[in-house]
Structure 1
Amino acid sequence: MINVLIADSQLLTREGIAFILSGMTDIHIIKQITNRVELEQMIIAYKPDVIIVDHLDTAEVKRIGARFDFAHMLVLSNKQQKSEILELIGLGIKAQVSKDCSRQELIQAVYAAAKGKQFFCESILNTLFGNKIRGKSIDDIPLLSSRETEIIHLIAEGRTNKEIAEKLFLSIHTVKTHRKNIIKKLGFTFKNTAEFASLIQSTL
């Protein structure tokens, strides 16, 4: 059973999510809350497998991620900029859907989040990749590995390849390879490496 906590200030959004997920026999809505003041209290009380929240700021993501590693966050948001989506990816958020996603996408996102897997709805993918993903299924989009996510954090801190290599006990060549793979997966060309790093840094 996947236990889900819904945190959203909008009544219709909360009720809509709960209604859609209530049709799934292996998903249980344990609580709906209206504000973030209650969020950490409810996480402690109910220990949810998945926390569905509207857009989080950087400080909240870091705080919740540090305190509650047993729960996975699914971010539900209105239209986001590419930089905002990348910011959340860099902070380790693997599941993101927009509020105009389909019923099936929401359900798939919950299942993916519960397993700690990455999931983006079509709207988020279009914002990230544009026409590059047309004709592909969501499963065709490469996922970031845990090492790649770790390196994104260090890039965002302004670390050089040498500093990243020393911190992670890797060779500089290995770090460069990881950076190229990250850029390729997120739809950036190699010539935009500096732009990518500065974009992530500017959103933190």
Structure 2
Amino acid sequence: MDDHPIFRDGITQLINHQPDLQVCGGVSSAALALSSVEELNPDMIIVDLSINGTDGIELIKSIRAQFPALPALMLSSHDENLYAERALRAGARGYIMKAAPSEKVIEAVRRVLEGSLYLSEAIGGRMLDTFLNGRMPGGTSSSVDQLSDRELEIFRALGEGRSTREIAQALFLSVKTVETHRSHIKEKLKIQSAPELIRAAVQWVGSQENL
């Protein structure tokens, strides 16, 4: 489930080249995802973090609510240090970066199909350290880590230049709800004004693109 046809086609070809794997379908928006899962009955799903209508984390939550046994792999160009743990909490069985080598993508797919978890060695080690020691390596955490999944989704959308009304329409929320989330974001990030919030969001999105 990816809203970029060229990339979706590439993943499809990669998987279909495996003698024992076959892609049964693909969609470009969250609105089509649930009905497609019900219709196609796949063995697993691959979800892009950035998909039309919502983000992949919220989509996985929705799919898991209706199909709790269906394993999901999150595929993303966004920083795994920030999103991998969120994806697992939402119900994903793995997280892999789009920049990963083809053989790692196939390894991730097979791991998830087998019922195992898949994470990169780097993020797996970081999460193990967090579990064992109850803290991030070095004892620090990013302010953005404090945001809920929905707040982070809205923060990213603000950084991509979307207005409150556009965000509300895309996420099927009321403008008032988005404004409430904006207030919570400002409070958690210790931001005083709306222009400062936009600047912070734009800077953060830019930093993610440069990773």
What's the TM-score bracket when you normalise by the shorter of the two chains? 0.5 to 0.7
Counterparts in 2 of 1:190 and 1:66: CA distance versus 1, 3 Å: farther
Amino acid of the structure 2 residue aligned with 1:29: V
- Superposition deviation, residue 201 in structure 1: 5.6
Which residue of structure 2 lines up, in the alignment, with residue 113 of structure 1? 112
TM value normalised by structure 2: 0.57
- Superposition deviation, residue 94 in structure 1: 2.1
- Pairs aligned (count): 144
Q: Runs of 5+ in structure 2 lacking a partner?
A: 50-54, 150-211
Q: For 1:7-156, list aligned pairs within 5 A.
A: 7-55=1-49, 56-80=55-79, 82-121=81-120, 125-126=121-122, 128=123
- Superposition deviation, residue 57 in structure 1: 4.4
- Superposition deviation, residue 61 in structure 1: 2.4
- Superposition deviation, residue 189 in structure 1: 5.3
- Superposition deviation, residue 23 in structure 1: 1.5
Q: Runs of 5+ in structure 1 lacking a partner?
A: 1-6, 134-140, 143-179
Matched, 1:188 2:136: yes
CA distance in 2, matches of 1:188, 1:42: 38
Preserved CA contact (<8 Å) 1:9 1:35: yes
Identify, as 1 or 2, the structure richer in helix: 2
Which residue of structure 1 lines up, in the alignment, with residue 147 of structure 2? 202
TM value normalised by structure 1: 0.59
Q: What RMSD, in angstroms, separates the aligned Cα atoms of the two structures?
A: 3.1
Counterparts in 2 of 1:57 and 1:107: CA distance versus 1, 3 Å: closer
Preserved CA contact (<8 Å) 2:73 2:93: yes
- Structure 1 segments of 4+ aligned residues over 4 angstroms from their partners: 189-192, 198-201
CA distance in 1, matches of 2:135, 2:146: 18
- Superposition deviation, residue 83 in structure 1: 2.4
Identify, as 1 or 2, the structure richer in strand: 1
